[in-house]
Amino acid sequence: MQLEQRKIVLGICGGIAAYKCPELCRLLIKQGADVYSVVTPSAAQLVSPTTLQALTGHAVGCEVFNHGDEIGHIELCADADALVIAPATANTIAKLAHGMADNMLTAAALAAPCPIIIAPAMNSRMYRHPATQANLELLQQRGVFIIPPAEGPLACGESGIGRMREPAEIVAYICALLNRNGLPFAENTLLPRPEAPLELTSQKLLPKANGAGLRVLITAGPTEEPIDPVRVITNKSSGKMGFALAEAARKRGANVTLIAGPVSLPTPAQVNRINVKTAQDMYDAVKAKLDDVDIVIGCAAVSDYRLAYVYPQKLKKEEQGDSLTLTLIKNEDIISMVGHANPRPFTVGFAAETMHGPEHAKEKLQRKNLDLIALNDVSRHDVGFNTDDNALLVYDKDGQVADLPKAPKRVIAAQLMDLIFDMFRKGTTQKEKHA
Ligand code: PMT
């Protein structure tokens, strides 16, 4: 079963394909999903809410203010893994694109923190109309997943594009999407075959949007301190860990700024990247953003020192003789500045240690006034600097809160971001309780 422990909200619009929705419900349930359904007023004419209620075991939503024993529109999708709208009519697509909330389905969609998947179904001319195409494009840009309709005979008697995909195909798409760590199929490629779900790996789950609405700033990579126009002091950080964190935070719905030292990694999708070189550049870039962020994560390997004097011309060994002495002065500590800011964001640091890791990490947590610190044992060659894997021990002020054993940095980043968002939200709730 591909959808065990998944809550799927099925939104049904008033298209003739609505008659296929009880079958869609049945197939979702067969894959283990807990299905809640919500119908638009016109869909209620085409598919019986009583049937849907009997199938799903849950009351069926329709009007926003007609609660009875229904769940409200805000809570409906709050803990859902996906909102699936099938069939999605041209009318509802237009409402979604423009943020209207005139019935239970459109209101729930507007409040949904989870991925939204829509399966359009309509007459071909309505589908091809520039207004519908523009609305679909807008939704796609906002991250809504669109299951393109099929070609074939339509309910109006015409033939063409606009048929809702078969329930089994829609279930296959949902399974594939939720089990591929958020990677949608390449745009408009073929859908998975109806029998595909069981072939798909269920290891990587599409993350919940636990970072939705949060502004996260992450530093990543090394810094470079110039010696002369061609030489620098730097370190082995590749940026992989920080970039993976940025991607994980973004996938969880956060608004992410990535302040990156000199690395050649591509920018994760929908992440705002600011490139810097020196520790001072990074300090200035972080400081400039500090009032606009909720969470700061210092993953960069920042140079602790810089040259007291930067040579304006390339150093010549003929002029320097057999030895060269460079005077270094201390750089400002960026994450410590963030931890001591007032007001301060939720502040997470890293500690790269070769010995006595836990002691040094806890000391840094205290001294830099951090909420969390992730300890990286960089005496190991298989994790840490410039590797694809990592392993972390995470501490807060009361001690160790997580042990993230060796795994690809993408996986470690996902685990760490879930921990950070959970702790941030718990902290916020506690503050609200005590206010
Ligand atoms: O980039 P990768 O190749 O993927 O490698 C990842 C990593 C090993 C660089 C990363 O996981 C890591 O451990 N980053 C922290 C490296 C580091 O500089 O640790 P530190 O113990 O020296 O610094 C402690 C904390 O203070 C860090 O959060 C660091 O960003 C911050 N710091 C340090 C000095 C300074 N001037 N300003 C800072 O903000």
Alpha-carbon distance of 238 to 247, in angstroms, equals 15
Closest listed residue to residue 427, CA positions, set 391, 386, 398: 398
Q: How far is CA 345 from the centre of its chain?
A: 20
The model's pLDDT over 204-261, given as tens digits with 9 standing for 90+, comes to 334 556 787 799 999 999 999 999 999 999 999 999 999 999 999 988 778 999 999 9
- Measured between its terminal Cα atoms, the distance across the chain in Å is 45
The model's pLDDT over 271-303, given as tens digits with 9 standing for 90+, comes to 999 999 999 999 999 999 999 999 999 999 999
The model's pLDDT over 413-431, given as tens digits with 9 standing for 90+, comes to 989 998 999 899 888 656 6
* Ligand 1 pocket, residues with Cβ under 6 angstroms: 219, 221, 237-242, 279, 298-302, 304, 331, 333-335, 349-352, 364, 376, 378, 384-386
Enumerate the known binding-site residues for CTP. Answer: 298-300, 304, 314, 350, 364, 368
For residue 156, indicate whether it is catalytic.
Answer: yes
Ligand 1 nearest-atom number relative to CA 241: 4
Ligand 1 nearest-atom number relative to CA 348: 28
Q: Which residues pair with 146 in a beta bridge?
A: 118
Report pLDDT for 180.
Answer: 54
Closest listed residue to residue 167, CA positions, set 349, 378, 361, 25: 25
Q: How far is the CA of 71 from the centre of ligand 1 (A)?
A: 46
Average pLDDT of 127-146? 90
Could you say which DSSP state residue 292 is in? G
Compute φ and ψ for 267, nearest 5 degrees: -75, 130
Ligand 1 nearest-atom number relative to CA 338: 39
* Residue of 290, 336, 350, 360 to mutate, ligand 1, most atoms within 8 A of C-beta: 350
Alpha-carbon distance of 92 to 201, in angstroms, equals 33
Alpha-carbon distance of 175 to 338, in angstroms, equals 41
Residue nearest to atom 37 of ligand 1 (CA): 333
Alpha-carbon distance of 248 to 273, in angstroms, equals 15
Average pLDDT of 154-179? 86
Of 76-80, 94-98, 105-109, 354-358, which gets the smallest average pLDDT? 76-80
Residue 320 makes CB contacts below 8 A (sequence gap 6+) with none
Report pLDDT for 153.
Answer: 84
Q: How far is the CA of 153 from the centre of ligand 1 (A)?
A: 60
Choose the catalytic residue: 21, 114, 156, 175: 156
Q: Give Cα separations from 311 to 227, 233, 306, 316, 320 (angstroms).
A: 6, 13, 12, 11, 12
pLDDT band at 79, cuts 50/70/90? confident
Peptide bond into 343 cis (omega under 30): yes
Average pLDDT of 78-95? 94
Kindly state the tokens that stand for 350.
């890293």
Alpha-carbon distance of 123 to 160, in angstroms, equals 8
Average pLDDT of 342-346? 96
Alpha-carbon distance of 114 to 111, in angstroms, equals 9
Kindly state the tokens that stand for 187.
């745009």
* Residue of 280, 302, 392 to mutate, ligand 1, most atoms within 8 A of C-beta: 302
Report pLDDT for 208.
Answer: 58
Report pLDDT for 200.
Answer: 31
Ligand 1 nearest-atom number relative to CA 368: 26
What does the mean pLDDT of the chain come to?
89
Q: How far is the CA of 385 from the centre of ligand 1 (A)?
A: 10
The model's pLDDT over 190-215, given as tens digits with 9 standing for 90+, comes to 344 333 333 332 223 345 567 877 99
**pLDDT > 70 fraction of the chain, expressed in percent and rounded:** 90
The model's pLDDT over 141-159, given as tens digits with 9 standing for 90+, comes to 888 888 989 888 888 888 8
- Of 168 and 158, the one with more pLDDT: 168
Average pLDDT of 339-362? 97
